Amino acid sequence: MKSKILLSIALLSLSVNASGADLHCTTKQKNAAAFTLAQELIVPVQNVEILRYLPGPWTEAVFGNVGTDQVTVRAPNRSNRGLTVKTYAVSAEQIGDTGDCNIRGILEQ
């Protein structure tokens, strides 16, 4: 019984690690959009909120895929005491066959 529990824990750990790797590029894209808006408004990046992430088209090769996803972010705007909401197309390139990527560019929509 104890070995079954240990096996279950090990399998759960592996599945969490695999899904975490898949989300690494998504996190980088969200962070890039948040940083871009924070720089523009001159506010701390911690004040930027991710509102929406929409996956876009990606190539479907074995490795080195490229694609662009849309990230909508919101932050307080000091100049008008309101909120600024912007959507960015964040382009990325997969690193090998991992869940990691390099950000290639950010374009305001």
Per-residue pLDDT of the chain (109 residues; tens, 9 = 90+): 444 433 333 333 333 333 344 589 999 999 999 999 999 999 999 999 999 999 999 998 888 999 999 999 999 998 888 999 999 999 999 999 999 999 999 999 9
Query: From CA 13, how far away is CA 64, in angstroms rounded?
Result: 26
Indicate the length of the chain as a whole number.
109
Question: Would you state the pLDDT for residue 62?
Answer: 83
Question: Would you state the pLDDT for residue 61?
Answer: 87
Question: Would you state the pLDDT for residue 30?
Answer: 97
pTM, to two decimals: 0.77
Q: Provide the terminal-to-terminal Cα distance of the chain, rounded to the nearest Å.
A: 56
Tell me the helix, strand and coil percentages in the chain, rounded to 5: 40, 35, 25
For residue 105, the cross-strand partners are 91
Query: From CA 2, how far away is CA 45, in angstroms rounded?
Result: 46
Question: Would you state the pLDDT for residue 6?
Answer: 34
